[in-house]
Amino acid sequence: MKNILHIALLALFVYSCGSSGGKNLPSQKDRNAKNDTVRIANDSLEYEIIIIEPGFNLFLNSIARPRGYYSQPYLENKNQFLVTEYNQRVNQPFAYNPDLYINQINYDPSIDYGYEVNYLLYNYFVFFSRHYNQRFSVPTRI
């Protein structure tokens, strides 16, 4: 009887340590999607950037260099080259994965988008190149 009690307690302990199956409920998916959406808009300049990429916010908050690390002219210069190469890849769906390069980015270097837009766009390219193992001709290392 004593052994049965010990076996039952051991079985109950093992059962209670099991995982819940890692179910990802729809509300959790929606919450995660909202957390991984970055929207930047300026009505006076009529531009809007929406970045919906799982893991991008985590990248910004943990791996990316902090705001102020790069100068705005540095970011503008990098973004000009990165956007040009990205748009070229969008126009070559047989050479580059069309699932990765979906839409062109309209980035006009003559417009002052401000530091925040340039910072987020540059870090998106860094994230994109790391996450999808893509290489651009302009180094995007941090």
pLDDT tens, position by position, 97-117 = 999 998 898 889 898 888 989
Who contacts 2 (Cβ-Cβ below 8 Å, separation ≥6)?
Answer: none
Task: For residue 74, give the nearest of 34, 131, 123, 5 by alpha carbon.
Answer: 123
Ordered by start, the domain boundaries in the chain are 23-131
Q: What's this model's pTM, rounded to 2 decimal places?
A: 0.68
Mean pLDDT of 118-125: 92
pLDDT tens, position by position, 41-87 = 666 656 777 778 888 888 888 888 999 899 999 999 999 999 999 99
Q: Please indicate whether residue 77 or residue 1 has the higher confidence score (pLDDT).
A: 77
Who contacts 41 (Cβ-Cβ below 8 Å, separation ≥6)?
Answer: 47, 48, 49
